[in-house]
Amino acid sequence: MSACKSLSFIVKNRSLWAHVRRNVTTWTPVGAAFNAKPHRRLDLFEKNGLFGVPELSCPAGFQVATRIALKNTELLVEKACSCPPGVDTVQTFDQLSDGLCKVADLADFVKIAHPDPAFREAAEKTCIEIGTVVEKLNTNVDLCKSLKNLLDNPDIVAQLDPDTRRVAELFLFDFEISGIHLDDHLRKEAVALHVKLLDLNNEFLVGSHMPNRIARAAIPEHLHLYFENEGSFIQVGGLHADSPDDLVREIAYRIYLYPNADMMDCLEELLKCRYKLAKLVGYESYGHRALKGTMLTHNLFFFVCFFFACFPFLSHRTATDFKMMRYMKKKLSPRNSVRFKMVLSFIPIFCAMFFVRYNIEPSLYSPYLSLGTCMEGLNNLFSQLYGVSLMSEYPSAGEVWSEDVRKLAVVHETEGLLGYIYCDFFHRPGKPHQDCHFTIRGGRWCQETGQYQLPVVVLMLSLPHPTKSAPTLLTPGMMENLFHEMGHAMHSMLGRTRYQHVTGTRCPTDFAEVPSILMEYFATDYRVISHFARHYETGQIFYAALDQIYHGKPQNRSTTEILKEMQQKFYGLPYMPNTAWQLRFSHLISYGAKYYSYLMSRAVASMVWKQCFIQDPLNRDMGERYRREMLAHGGAKEPMLMVEGMLQRQPTIEDFVDALVSELNPNFETFIMDSES
């Protein structure tokens, strides 16, 4: 049974569901936590700091936390440079990394998510200060020499366990791509470029999430309620792709993507600096530098074959997509079919395609897609696959940055507490319209305490708030994103690595997306969640191609001209004048030259799903194998070895291509024919 048919099944049998609802009137604690508005609580005692960090009860605490971290850094650098080569060297490096990451990663999140500008500003200063120190450490000759003394001694290396050896090699790799081999003058130039990139990355990341505004009088009055008001202006902070109103989507698209000259200059300078840095440290381009350390590190030919083998299918696919969407547009809005050419926000068209095929009204299925229901479904899935439960906890005063943030403890049936997930799920003014996962603290075994440092992560979505009369109801796209991001979270929770440098999602980018994309397969299976219909995003290949060209050799043309060409070639849709989508492509910062990772990860996830879970998605033995072979190691094991361990075979280039093409080539003609009947 397909996801669409399962959705149809629920609607057709809603009387049965109504009977169940009447007889089961209580939510589990995790469902209730997400389906109800939070209650305000008076705290008469001393406030805690953000995430329970005592120093962070006020913005000035970031300076205190930074000072403590940098003081410890000095001591650990001295220890790493003076201790005899061995396991202690690697453990000291990991302690050094952990101490800096615990402050920098937390600040990285706070600078974009905290509603208080003072906290955001303080966090941004911390990011820059610690980032500058990290870049200097990556070109510290004495520090690198202590690591080389270890790895150049075969007798000592032979005594290292596999995880310790890999972590040592990864630390050395960081030195090498930072230019440790250069002379003093060029090393200083490399550090200066890294520091400049920190500023540019931050400027672009913040700017890519900033709303645009337009005079209220320029928008029809009856549409004002869809956007945020700012005096005599309307703020547009996203594409409103889920809106069923054509005009709302068109207004959002035109205004939100309107070019910003300062952002355009920032992006151009950022790409120039990345290219200059890559050339300085010995790479042909930034894209070549970024490929090092990924699943494809040792096989560039594999990458080229994989990436371009899919292209023959694209011309047919984009033409078919365009034909299908134009048809659906005319069918649903015959009077507004011309506007379709100008609007790239097609999610409602895909959703409508399913509803037309099965004659389903959104009002009939939406009550079954409450956020609490989805969280209960995830809880049940994790319980059956891994023996893990999500337990709702009430955060202490000052622990969270907004009163609607929920805190989950992740608890294993025999291992106990595995870590914490903070769920920042609801929209608020100034919050980025982006769904993402943040590592706040990585897991590691602490020699100094004899205990495991529990991982802490944040999942950030932008969902509507529950009301007094109804919980938050999700669209199919919202639900897919929830499952995707929870895949990242469980990767962090289920890992039990010895070193935090390779904990959870701290692994090659093209492997990090596998657990999250695999969760999308669970979300589409009627045996897991029988009320979900999804669409595949054609745009991923367009994003990946654009990312590769931006980070290749300089093109001597603007980023907009490149965008226009790539959009026509890979999206099959015309560019809309006076828009600059690339200025909203925040993945250029965290996924620079690595956006292909989504395609690579989707191919791996497809193989894992079809070989291991499609027969029984709730199979505990397979869930345990998945945790043991893929989730437990983080980045401590070569990604391809983890894939081979899960599949129990070595996949070929043809396997990867076939897996991806099967995802890219659904039969949309069937939907058109069915909708006519």
The structural domains of the chain, with segments of one domain joined by +, span: 50-202, 537-593, 596-674
Judge whether residue 586 has pLDDT over 80: no
Once rounded to an integer, what is the mean pLDDT over residues 52-78?
96
Q: Would you place residue 245 in the very low, low, confident or very high pLDDT band (cuts 50, 70, 90)? A: confident
567/652: higher pLDDT: 652
For residue 238, what pLDDT is reported? 86
Q: Where are the alpha helices (DSSP H) in 495-534?
A: 509-512, 514-523
Predicted pLDDT of residue 340:
40
pLDDT in tens, 478-517: 888 999 999 999 999 998 999 999 999 998 887 888 999 9
Task: With residue 484 as reference, give the H or E element that holds it.
Answer: helix 476-494
**Any catalytic annotation for residue 203?**
no
Cα gap 63→121, rounded to integer Å: 11
pLDDT in tens, 292-325: 766 665 554 455 555 555 555 555 555 555 566 6
Under the banding of pLDDT at 50, 70 and 90, the label for residue 21 is very low
CATH architecture of 50-202: Up-down Bundle (1.20)
Sign of the alpha-carbon torsion through 548, 552, 555, 558: positive
The predicted model gives 236-248 an average pLDDT of 83
pLDDT greater than 80 at residue 556? yes
Among the residue ranges 46-60, 101-115, 352-366, the one predicted with the least confidence is: 352-366
Q: What is the mean pLDDT of the chain?
A: 81
Catalytic residue among 129, 376, 480, 485: 485
Q: In which region does residue 479 sit, left (phi positive, over 0), alpha (psi from -120 to 50) or beta (all else)?
A: alpha
Q: pLDDT, tens digit, for every residue of 394-429? A: 999 999 999 999 999 999 999 999 999 999 999 888
3-state helix, strand, coil in the chain (%, to 5): 60, 10, 30
Q: How far apart are CA 583 and CA 676, in angstroms?
A: 40
Please state the rounded mean pLDDT for residues 537-546.
Answer: 61
675 pLDDT band, cuts 50/70/90, is very low
The angle at the Cα of 664, spanning 660 to 666, to the nearest 5 degrees, equals: 130
Torsion angle defined by CA atoms of residues 272, 273, 277 and 283, in that order, rounded to the nearest 10 degrees: -20
Between 16 and 632, whose confidence is greater? 632
Which phi and psi angles does 88 have, rounded to 5°? -60, -35
| Upper half-sphere CA count for residue 362 (Cβ side, 13 Å) | 12
**pLDDT the model gives residue 656:** 83
Candidate from 53-62, 93-102, 654-663 with smallest mean pLDDT: 654-663
